[in-house]
Amino acid sequence: MDSLVVVSQDGHTCAGSVVTDGGEVLTAYHCVVGGRRVWIEERDGVRHRGWVARLDKRRDLAWVHVPTLVDRPTLVIAEQPPEQGTTVWALGHPCGSPVPSGFFAGTLRFSASQGVVSAVGDSAIQTTAPLNPGNSGGPLVSDDTGELVGVASRVLGRDGIGLAGRVGPDDRGRRYNMWGGHFAVAPVGFSQREDNGGFSLGGRLGVSLRDRLWLRADVALPIGVRWDALQAGSSTVTTGQVTLSLDQPVLRRKPAISVGVHGGVALYRTVTGDVARVRVTGQSDPVPVVGGALSGFGMRLEVSGVYTPDGLQPRLGISVLERTLGVW
């Protein structure tokens, strides 16, 4: 149990285990999909900064390098996969963060649950040991040998079928690219209030170049811009933008909150209405855009200034349902 640690990233809590004297922690890929930097917490509450070193998405495995976590008790990774029917222990932190208090004080963290190996596949091990979200990344330990045979990954169905990523001592995964990052998408995503009172709705795709450096592209469909142009003679709308932003977490536990600044190019469209002919014409121009943002709860609120031919125009943008898709 002394080799068990808490793995946290941007408000999400998982488990992990120290597997080398040099401070290498083995956890689940999906626990560190948010970026390279990770917090590791020992049982006594001491926290360490770690960096994702290698990944194996197929087996849902990740190796985190923690320079300050050396000469700690380690779990030995088994040479061979466990046999069907082997008794195993799932170690972890059921239900995740925050630290339990009150009635739950002293429980739900650094806990153990017992089961057996139900089946062994090429990438995963099925087990009857109870698994919960906070168990993700935690070790599956053989009762006979005390060796690590798998890493808790997921639960399937209402019956709670537990699955752990299968791992061997020679499994190392691929290196985490220093300039790698992750994809995120806001499918309902981008709505922007225009200076004429209308809205444009669309979507957003983001790619992180590093943990905090993001390249985001927004495409928006104007709503009511033609009618506004016929009524007022002209109407303006931002139909999309490409920005480079720097986001800084200010609250890492749930809920995770970040603030950021961004700059880039927006596509600014001016629509002119001809009431007599009942028609509209439009012209699109690329213009600079800068601003700030607040992110959290799967949402991003942006306040921007668009430098148009008519001067600086304020914009308010909101992206919702943002989800991380994977690491590249």
User: Could you tell me the two tokens for 4?
Assistant: 């068990």
pLDDT of residue 326 exceeding 70, the answer is: no
Q: Is the peptide bond before 222 cis (omega within 30 degrees of 0)?
A: no
Mean pLDDT of 75-99: 91
pLDDT for 57: 86
The mean pLDDT value for 115-125 works out to 96
Predicted confidence band of residue 133 (pLDDT cuts 50, 70, 90): confident
Residue 202 has pLDDT above 90, yes or no: no
Q: Where are the domains of the chain?
A: 4-175, 182-327
Confidence of residue 116 (pLDDT cuts 50, 70, 90): very high
Q: Residue 249 pairs with which residues in a beta bridge? A: 258
pLDDT of 184 over the 80 cut: no
28-32, 127-131, 253-257, 266-270: range with lowest mean pLDDT: 253-257
* 248 CB burial (10 A radius; 0-12, 13-18, 19+): exposed
Q: Would you say residue 108 has pLDDT above 80?
A: yes
CATH (residue range 182-327)? 2.40.160.20
Region 64-73 average pLDDT? 93
User: How do 47-56 and 174-175 pair as beta strands?
Assistant: antiparallel
Question: Does residue 203 or residue 85 have the better pLDDT?
Answer: 85
pLDDT tens for 228-237 read 655 656 667 7
User: pLDDT of 273-290, one tens digit each?
Assistant: 665 555 566 677 899 999
For the ranges 118-122, 240-244, 269-273, the lowest mean pLDDT is seen at 269-273
Q: Are 129 and 117 in contact (CB under 8 A)?
A: no
**What proportion of the chain, given as a percentage, has pLDDT over 70?**
83
What is the fold of 4-175? Thrombin, subunit H (2.40.10)
- Cis check for the bond before 98: say yes or no (omega within 30 of 0): yes
pTM of the model: 0.68
pLDDT score of 270? 74
| The most confident of 80-89, 129-138, 244-253, 309-318, by mean pLDDT | 80-89
Distances (CA, A) of 292 to 150, 263, 320: 43, 9, 17
Mean pLDDT of 8-33: 90
213 neighbors 182 (Cβ within 8 angstroms): no
Q: CB neighbours (10 Å) of residue 271?
A: 21
pLDDT band at 249 (very low <50, low <70, confident <90, very high): confident
Q: Which of the four pLDDT bands, split at 50, 70 and 90, describes residue 294?
A: very high
